[in-house]
């Protein structure tokens, strides 16, 4: 293949992925048809099928790209030198930054968690959530605390995702001191999570019963 043809192929594939990312993040997997994507890109269906075999193939490529980039950034933070407390702080700052600055990625995560398709949820876990859960749990277990690492890890992830989701409406609250200070709100949330760790269930509390 000539260089110009290779560049054109890459360019079209990237264009399809960019449009698909925008549509899937806005409407979810179930709310977008393969024809919607082709029309938005401005190509006929055979052209789209030349690059991706079906809608799920395209959707998983969108997710692989988005989750892979976020996973790499967060895993890098988790493996930095420093104390567990320092690494946890940097992880929280990075996670909040990723979700706060990339609304399309945040919406993809939300929709995967909320939509009924179990295959999409499994894909989320396999391509990002499992590695983040394991890495974060490992850091929490390294802390000089008896905090239940499972509960703490799930609590942190849920808190951050919920916090970012509320920020859009929070800016209009009358009595919210951070309504017009989003950067300070992010940092305050990091401090609140770190503080709350001391009050989460301990290792010998609320353990699941053995099966």
DSSP state of 125: I
- Report the C-alpha gap between 28 and 26 in whole angstroms: 6
DSSP state of 147: B
Domain boundaries, the chain: 3-199
Q: Is the pLDDT of residue 114 over 50?
A: yes
Q: Are 161 and 99 in contact (CB under 8 A)?
A: yes
pLDDT grade, residue 211 (50/70/90)?
Answer: low
CATH number of 3-199: 1.10.357.10
pLDDT attached to residue 88: 92
Higher pLDDT, 114 or 165: 165
- Report the C-alpha gap between 160 and 74 in whole angstroms: 14
pLDDT grade, residue 111 (50/70/90)?
Answer: confident
Higher pLDDT, 209 or 159: 159
- Report the C-alpha gap between 63 and 91 in whole angstroms: 21
Residue with tokens 């997997």: 29
Higher pLDDT, 60 or 147: 60
**Residue 70 burial (CB < 10 Å; 0-12/13-18/19+)?**
buried
Q: Is the pLDDT of residue 55 over 80?
A: yes
pLDDT attached to residue 201: 62
Number of H helices, E strands in the chain: 10, 0
Higher pLDDT, 1 or 204: 204
DSSP state of 202: B
pLDDT attached to residue 164: 93
C-alpha dihedral, 69 to 72 to 74 to 75, nearest 10°: 160
Angle between helical axes of 84-101 and 103-114 (0-180°, round to 10):
100
What is the maximal distance between C-alpha atoms in the chain?
64
- Report the C-alpha gap between 84 and 47 in whole angstroms: 50
Q: Are 163 and 129 in contact (CB under 8 A)?
A: no
Please name the helix (run of DSSP H) or strand (run of DSSP E) that holds residue 117, with its range, or none. none
């Amino acid at each position: 293949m000539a260089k110009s043809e290779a560049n054109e192929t890459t360019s079209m594939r990237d264009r399809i992925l960019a449009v698909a990312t925008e549509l899937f993040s806005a409407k979810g997997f179930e709310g977008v048809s393969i024809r919607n994507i082709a029309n938005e890109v401005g190509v006929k269906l055979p052209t789209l099928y030349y690059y991706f075999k079906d809608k799920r193939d395209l959707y998983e490529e969108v997710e692989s790209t988005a989750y892979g980039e976020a996973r790499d950034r967060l895993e890098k933070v988790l493996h930095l030198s420093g104390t567990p407390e320092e690494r946890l702080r940097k992880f929280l700052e990075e996670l909040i930054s990723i979700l706060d600055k990339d609304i399309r990625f945040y919406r993809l995560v939300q929709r995967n968690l909320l939509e009924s398709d179990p295959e999409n949820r499994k894909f989320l876990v396999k391509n990002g959530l499992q590695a983040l859960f394991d890495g974060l749990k490992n850091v929490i277990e390294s802390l000089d605390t008896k905090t239940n690492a499972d509960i703490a890890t799930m609590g942190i992830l849920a808190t951050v995702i919920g916090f970012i989701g509320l920020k859009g409406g929070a800016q209009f609250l009358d009595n919210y001191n951070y309504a017009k200070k989003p950067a300070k709100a992010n940092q305050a949330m990091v401090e609140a999570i770190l503080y709350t760790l001391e009050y989460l269930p301990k290792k010998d509390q609320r353990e699941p019963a053995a099966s």
